[in-house]
Chains A and B, each alone.
Chain A
């Protein structure tokens, strides 16, 4: 690690020594482009990340309830197949390949959903799509504070400040939530109160970018988190006193050099991720991962419309867990070439990505992506996307002491998508059709000795259709915006090595149909937002004999927003989640809240 730091600073100063031109802040940060054509940017300003995920029709927000495990399933695939990217680095756990989205900050980062596989950019784990957490230093808010309290005993507070000097931008903040999650739910015809899902989450953030000179910039991103919670059991189980503690620190350093025809970025990152789980049956599970990362990325501009990007990255994972016999390590080397050319022919754009990864456990993997875009006219665009991505097995898959399978192969996906974007006046329509083929699907199942063990048991095919219609309009005092989206997905088992009967069945917890609607209206300084979602029925057993009922939810928010002086904004309002008091389950027998209310207060000074 020390060598890497030395190399980083050597490169930093050798690049920055050139010029001492007059300084001005250049906001552009070179980022890895996802291979996705279909993206949603979530507005984190007035809503929680998890509520926003509920509103996206392009995936399924899978949760055991507020404060508990939350994941996002994209296009009919599994939770582990959704990559979570922070500052271009994957933060999925090497222990179990998943990331719990309930740990995600609500206010500090912009969140972007990218559908479709992206291993050709991010490497391992960007399998079905990625959720990107991106720093936001360009919102011109000097100071902001937001707080929320709800009738289920939850209190959230966030505050951040931006400091901008000639050549430096600094954003820092805290976010803290103290959630009792004492919500009402129904079980066995009785109304009960959830009492075992308390969740405390304290986070602090620093994003600092410093322009060394007109060409060179350095930056640091820090995200520290400490979370404690009770793990509420299912409605069918008794109180179990299980508790989990997450302590994570993530640091990213970068140096960026921008020339006339090329730009270069060197990044170093360090993650320290700790998880402790205590229960009656398992005395204590401890896992501690130290991850060291380094990346060099260069982007060459051959002309105004021809760009070549080259990426080289290195990742060292080092995990110590009291349930593994020894410290588990893996090294990964990745090399990628991305090429894009606009107007290859008239109104025809092309992007290609190729990446090779060598992993010390899972050996060699190639990933690629080809994206074609054709503008039929300035209102209509068509696109085609095809690629190959991969997902390595997790440490638990490989080394779990009673059943881990060190011979697992890497999961592979071949994904294809065609789609269109059409704009007409105030309407905007997007439509995608996709077809995915997954090989070496890993599934845990009981072996002959009744011990559970993972194996590459199936081939899976997921295909579907996504469409979204947006509308925006306004008059002098009145504004209106809305979105209506629909998704259809079939995710079926093509081949199963253990149980032929499962072939042709839909994967569990994947609804065939999902509809979302969102309406935002304002009159003068009064705002009304409402989102409506309908989730179709979902099979909960692999034989497709048992299913959960469909459900629909309506959440509403009403607030007053007023600029009391130039550059400052107050928002005060109230919200109601599950307005129709629907008794529903996202995961079978996990309690979800009936109707509850809250109030919030936001202040922003720009």
Chain B
């Protein structure tokens, strides 16, 4: 394959379908002009590579692509952290590996502190080697909340024609509601350690069920919206 063909292939890969043909045609025209001039074919090929890099960088680093990348990385990282934490906590036999101060914060609703505990990340690989208890990942209240909220979000979006900004705000609220409910329970009620498990499970597993589908929908909407944030 010639350099021209490779460059056109890269441009088609990186640029929107609506004008990738126009760009390829323009580049080929300029490439032909330079090849036929005194500069020659090798200079034309070099010029073509430079232009292809410029064009691909322009589209890869576009606002929508960067935002999609950021949302994907955030959603995958949060899901991974939650899966590791839930697995590790479910296999935790000796609660004393975590300090009393940590458990006090836990009962105050600051459950996210577990993500910052070095002991979690040090011993997480061992937890992964244990057989997986799939029932643990099926928590009924979270399933009900996730299904109802996802359906409601879908209906609201279709009926009200929400913009990307409005959709992201509603999605964030949907993801945060279980966490806010859990925090409110910890704050207003005297929750004992033995009662904390189901509340934390609702806070985390609901978010875990919803974060990937909501992020996927957000990225899809972002890609469909050509004039996002303009």
Is this pair of chains taken from one and the same complex?
no
Using a CB–CB cutoff of 8 Å, the interface residues on chain A facing chain B are none
